[in-house]
């Protein structure tokens, strides 16, 4: 009785190659897999949509390059949406490297909105230490906290800041937060003390900690959680950005891993069957 041959083992290098191609393609050419948009992302979108044109709004860049993959796509999508609605954007930072994150985000979105002018449509006021104390001071007087912008230009020379004294002139505040100081400080000061609408974005692992502020106390108007939240927001504003391509790559990688697991199980079953027959 002839012995059946065992099924040939696939060279693992082919598996790595297939994964490489599967991940690289959507990063180069975003596919835009349609996924359900969460209510949290929808709330952020609706807040921006409902804010009147020409309003001055604020985005706080409270993160550094270690979380740029998750938070930078949110920043770019929020700036783009604000400019679509003709909002004027103030950027501030409670983290030192947040200043550079803001510069990168503005530079990227300006490629699609070259008509936007610094000092009229947007400003980058830079970094200020102090956390909640700084936020409280902004609620009293922006010009005392930021006498100049990030490059040293006196705030009096920035036309869009002429009408801004404190949070009373701000349509909404969004904090993109990788930790403390960040979003929690804005909730407890900008919202609770000065009654300005506050929304935010955070890393995926931090998202559950902010849900009570939405569900129970209504202190937070929506939330973008991790890369998925950023991709949902890109979908809402009809932009295929880095979050969309990142989620596409992640989805394809997960699908391929599932296929490889199935193939491995089928091979194992075939080996067991041949062993019994032998």
Residue 250, C-beta contacts closer than 8 angstroms, at least 6 positions apart: 227
The answer to whether the CB of 82 falls within 8 A of the CB of 89 is yes
Distance CA 51, CA 87 (A): 8
Burial class (CB within 10 angstroms; exposed 0-12, middle 13-18, buried 19+) of 46: middle
Provide the pLDDT for residue 12. Answer: 77
Q: Does the structure show a pLDDT above 60 at 84?
A: yes
Confidence band, pLDDT 50/70/90 cuts, at residue 160: very high
Peptide bond into 153 cis (omega under 30): no
Provide the pLDDT for residue 32. Answer: 66
| 159 closest CA partner among 186, 191, 120 | 120
The three-point CA angle 66-233-47 to 5° equals 110
Strand order in the sheet with 122-127: 122-127, 88-93, 56-62, 170-177, 198-202, 224-225
Confidence band, pLDDT 50/70/90 cuts, at residue 1: very low
Q: pLDDT tens digit string along 118-143?
A: 999 999 999 999 999 999 999 999 99
**3-state secondary structure at position 209:** helix
By percentage, how much of the chain surpasses pLDDT 90? 66
Enter the tokens of residue 149. 């912008």
The three-point CA angle 130-131-136 to 5° equals 90
Mean pLDDT rounded to a whole number for the chain = 88
Mean pLDDT (whole number) for 176-205:
94
Angle between helices 39-50 and 226-236 (to 10 degrees): 50
Residue 2, C-beta contacts closer than 8 angstroms, at least 6 positions apart: none
Distance CA 61, CA 97 (A): 9
Eight-state DSSP code of residue 167? G
Distance CA 211, CA 213 (A): 5
Burial 253-267 (b: 16+ CB within 10 A, else e): eeebeeeeeeeeeee
Strand runs labelled E in 108-259:
122-127, 170-177, 198-202, 224-225
């Amino acid at each position: 009785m002839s012995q059946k041959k065992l099924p040939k083992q696939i060279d693992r290098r082919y598996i790595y190659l297939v994964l490489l191609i599967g991940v690289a393609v959507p990063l180069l050419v975003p596919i835009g897999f349609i996924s359900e948009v969460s209510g949290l992302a929808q709330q952020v979108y609706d807040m921006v949509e409902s804010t009147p044109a020409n309003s001055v709004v604020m985005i706080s860049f409270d993160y550094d390059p270690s979380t740029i993959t998750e938070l930078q796509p949110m920043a770019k999508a929020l700036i783009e949406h604000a400019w679509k609605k003709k909002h004027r954007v103030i950027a501030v930072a409670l983290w030192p490297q947040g200043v550079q994150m803001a510069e990168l985000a503005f530079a990227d979105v300006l490629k699609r909105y070259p008509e936007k002018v610094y000092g009229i449509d947007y400003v980058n006021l830079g970094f200020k230490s102090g956390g909640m104390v700084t936020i409280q001071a902004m609620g009293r007087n922006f010009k005392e906290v930021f006498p100049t912008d990030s490059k040293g230009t006196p705030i009096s020379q920035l036309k869009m800041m002429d009408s801004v004294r404190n949070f009373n002139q701000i349509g909404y505040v969004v904090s993109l937060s990788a930790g403390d100081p960040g979003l929690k400080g804005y909730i407890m000061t900008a919202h609770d003390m000065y009654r300005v609408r506050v929304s935010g974005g955070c890393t995926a692992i931090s998202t559950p900690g902010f849900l009570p502020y939405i569900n129970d106390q209504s202190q937070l108007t929506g939330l973008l959680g991790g890369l998925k939240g950023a991709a949902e927001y890109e979908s809402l504003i009809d932009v295929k950005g880095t979050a969309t391509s990142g989620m596409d790559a992640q989805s394809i990688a997960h699908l391929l891993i599932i296929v490889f697991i199935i193939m491995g199980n089928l091979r194992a079953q075939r080996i067991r069957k041949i062993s019994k027959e032998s």
